[in-house]
Amino acid sequence: MQQLLMIEDDARLAQMVGEYLERSGFGVSHAPDARTGLDRLTQPGALPDLVVLDLMLPDLDGLEVCRRLRALPGEAGKVPVLMLTAKGDPMDRIVGLEIGADDYLPKPFEPRELLARIRAILRRKGDGGTVPSARTLRFGSLEIDRDARTVTVGGQPAEMTSYQFDLLVVLAERAGRVLTRDQIMEAVRGRELEAFDRSIDVHMGRIRAAIEADAKNPRRIVTVRGVGYVFAKQQD
């Protein structure tokens, strides 16, 4: 699941947009001011795939935040930025893009447009844009391409639904870690599993049928009785 950091001082807007993006399959964290956002970008292992950055913040303006972000060492300085602003001045957009923002969206905006722009930036990123990164997970003969949203086993395509792909990615990104059904569902849908909802087991069965040599004796996705599932780190 791709992670977004939203640096926005309007708590109501951040909550509304965050919930919409989470329903669309993203993980979203919120920073209410510039310094909190910059602090999170320097935390080891917490780097987001994209930053949604408001231009008007209480402590630093978004342009300065973007400058400081681009000055960060390593991959942190290359994280894509989508800038939001209440201003309609074209000069703000020009300056923002010149200092390293990847796109610019004026307020008020439709959440669907924000989502479309985020996806477009992330597609460019995956195609070798501003942040070259390993977007393909490989486990032996199994390859999961998170950007193309494809799965192959021994070079052959493994067919599954979009939702099953998301379930597989959640497990694969946490290979070796036992996940409960609630944790898996929350990671994919942003909510806890409803009581007696066993649909996830049906999906796991279909994923196994697509990627396992023997779905009845799985070696990639292993059931931990009474707990949940674990994706095996070492695979053929």
DSSP notation for 89-147: -HHHHHHHHHTT-SEEEESS--HHHHHHHHHHHHHHHHTTSSS----EEEETTEEEETT
Does the pLDDT of residue 150 top 80, yes or no?
yes
Query: Hey, where are the domains in the chain?
Result: 3-126, 136-231
Structure tokens at 17: 């947009």
For 160-186, the pLDDT digits (tens) are 887 788 899 999 999 999 999 888 877
87-91, 97-101, 129-133, 197-201, range with the lowest pLDDT: 129-133
Burial 129-146 (b: 16+ CB within 10 A, else e): eebeeebebebeebbbeb
Mean pLDDT check: name the lowest of 7-11, 48-52, 109-113.
109-113
What value does the mean pLDDT take over residues 107-119? 90
User: ω before 90 within 30° of 0 (cis)?
Assistant: no
On whether the pTM is more than 0.85, the answer is no
Class of domain 3-126: alpha beta
Class at the top of the CATH hierarchy for domain 136-231: mainly alpha
